[in-house]
Amino acid sequence: MSDTRVLLVEDSGFMATHTSGTLESVHGMTVRIAGTAREARTLLADGGFDCLVVNTQLPGENGIEFVRSVRNDDDLPAVPAILFTSGNLETVAGDAFAAGVVDVVSKDHHAGNSMDVFANRIEVAIDAFERRKRLGTT
């Protein structure tokens, strides 16, 4: 079982419940949910997360802007961020990676039966981020 701690920034109650429930019950992760970027910043400041999973569309701020602001805030801990989108991956990927996102995941493909793949992508993102930190390339 995993001891991975994920901060899920998702304003859809259904998607937040489905995603967090599956990651916790099937994959042994601990998931905290924030419905807004403001709430996520507060939780992130408290620390203790291994990965940030961020919806593209959030109230008042999009997920890419949120990740960029987190990356530029020295008071917030550095953790890998995955963008979770229902939109076209190609249209958001360039901006997402430029903002510091380490992976872009489709809700359409990974919110259903592919949660095993999604959980694996979270673990891979954490491992890769930690390796880059050790090498000083983050």
Total number of domains constituting the chain: 1
CA distance linking residue 134 with residue 111, whole number of Å: 32
Range list of β-strands (E), 1-138: 5-9, 30-34, 51-55, 57-58, 61-62, 81-85, 103-106
Predicted TM-score (pTM) of the model is 0.91
For position 80, which CATH number holds? 3.40.50.2300
Q: 68-117 pLDDT, tens per residue?
A: 999 999 999 999 999 988 777 778 899 999 999 999 988 775 555 568 88
For residue 75, give the amino acid letter: D
Sign of CA dihedral 104, 23, 124, 67: positive
Q: Which residues constitute the domain of residue 106?
A: 5-135
Taking only the tens place, the pLDDT of each residue in 18-58 is 899 999 998 999 999 999 999 999 999 998 999 999 999 99
